[in-house]
Structure 1
Amino acid sequence: MRLAKEEFTAGTGNVRTLHQEGKVNQLTYELDRYQWNVLGIAEMRWLDSVMECEPISSQVIRIRMNAHPRNVSIVQVYDPTSDCSDEEVDEVYDVLKSTMDKIPEKYIRIIQGDWNAKIGTDAYKDWEGTIGKFGVGETNERGTRLLEFCKINNPVITNTFGADTGSDHNLLMMTMKLKLRKVRRQPNCRLKYNLERLRDADCQEKFEIKIGCRFGALLELEENDDVQHLTSEFSKIMNETAMEVLGKARTKKQPWMTQDILDACDRRTKGFEGNNSKKAFDTVKQLGRKKNIGQSVIEDKNGNLLTEKKEKSRKVGPVCEGVIQLPNSDLS
């Protein structure tokens, strides 16, 4: 667009939402009617599906979308035509490779676009697993270049599996059904050292001497050394010295036999002393008795305690009426 010779119209507006049916059609109609070139939209309310859109180059663009259970990254590519040099084609593939390497492996990655390449049925025999059986004509040089990229980086050329529209550009439609692998979380492998040994004066002195000798090497490093490298060396020295002098800490297992259990056993033993069966029975019954949950006490009008559950439910209404008297009031 040449701004010096052409009119350029930019605008902005709050559409409240584009999530309602027909709102997108209404917006595109207004854009066409007013002939706006650029429109800034506020409050689209598209549920934050698009997390990021990044133009990589004039031939490559990437979009990151919020999805469940995995986010999706789609890379759109336009590969130069056969009129361009091989160097230009290689540059596009280098940019694409760099873009794909930056996408986390846990994302679903889709590469699509116009590759200006032809992959024929003759390629299926040598490239099975990368392509399907439904190629077009014979594979050309650009098609071989695409096959090599896919073989190395593991994508599958899906339009060799499907529809034919009578064009040299085949219609591509992809339906995905995910089968996710179960991700096993790594256990906590934090190494613990036997710090109790530092209470011993000889062991403490040995540890200090070892650390001092090892840290002397750090002083010989160049001043312009990377901070990350210095941190890594410091951590390495501390861990190696601690392992050599202190060793690993032994994991202490909590005993299942607690003091409360032992006290209960003593009380039970005392209950059986003297062959007193009644005392033994009462002791065992008391040890196995569950704690009673406090219950509310309800009395009737005469002050008698209500013990039965059904009796309580029958009497609670009349009792409340006898205790709580609401004054008459004119609500009109």
Structure 2
Amino acid sequence: MKIQKPGLDVVTCQIPEDDNIRFSDDRSSMTLVGQSRKEAHRPTESLAKPKQVLNIGNWNVRTMYAIGKTAQVAKVMNEYKLDILGISECRWTGFGKLKLSTGETVVYSGREDGVHRSGVAIMLSKHAERALIEWRPVNDRIITARFYSNYIKVTIIHVYAPTLDATDEAKDSFYEQLQTVVEVVNQHDMVIITGDMNAKVGADNKDKETVMGKHGTGVINNNGERLVDFCGLNNFVISGTLFPHKEIHKNTWTSPDKRTNNQIDHVLINKKYRSSVRDTRVMRGADVASDHQLVRTQIKLKLKKQDKKANPRMKYDVSKLQYPAIKNQFSVELKNRFAVLEAVSDDVDIEAKWDNFNNAFNQSAKEVLGTRKRKQKPWIGVESWKKVERENILK
């Protein structure tokens, strides 16, 4: 099939035939060149809520370019009640959005040279799809999606990082692109980065306490150092290292000879929402013939209670200043207090001087003017009452 980006060349997308897939012509949820925000898809549901757990999956399935594989992944997604599932190595080419016969929606981004390698995708439940604001295919290793919430908008960035054997140039290019994507995300969003990072961060979190917990596995490698540096620069936390689980529930990849297990698939979240993460662990029961395990992260939005009584703003009755006697009394009171402040030594700190000035002004206003009393305005105006009287007379 062919998909046309507004203002860009036609991209050919090759996907195997599957009865469970049907393509949707509605690409309004993707904000592209030449498309305004008003034309973008309007979300009808809220994704992240304080009283509801958000389940996010992260899985390298090895390939989606096989008949029936998409249906298998969707089945596992439903079994584990995942709202969002980030998929690495989908191996689809081009980019696009499709809908499965079971109701799930998939947005994907792959190579544009027709080679079925790498590729990333995000599978959405019906609920998550209705909260989708926009999605962007960056390249065959990075895709983003943004979701609406009544409380805080959520940005999901799914990635597939170069392996340990890749060249330094390839690794530097990947993290430069990822850095560019993170920098343009709205600063108020909850940002979650999922994917196969191909990075071991280890169990030792000395001098890295703000980036990771003490429940990682193994020993950090070169890719792990790059990931830790990226998290430190952008204030992200590696959630898989925060919770004490058995080793089998932390290791995400098993070597073909079954002798080596590593924790290389990670979920990152910006630090200010660290307390909202309830758990991150491997779900060993999920199986789609991959050497990677499904990683599930549970998030329950935790909001900070606002103390309305703290530092209340005093509203003084400044309308009294229109009377000459009260205005003169206020001026005299203020001058007397300022005269006392002038006698204070010049060695006093500037902050202390400001506090003294602020206290003098507020105390004078409180004693002379008093606070403004809120008067309840009548909800029926004078003109309305006149009409009521006129109707009564006519009656």
TM bin (shorter chain): 0.3 to 0.5
Higher strand share: 2
TM-score of the aligned structures, taking structure 1 as reference length: 0.44
More helix by share: 1
Q: Which has the higher contact order (CA 8 A, sep 6+)?
A: 2
TM-score by length of 2: 0.37
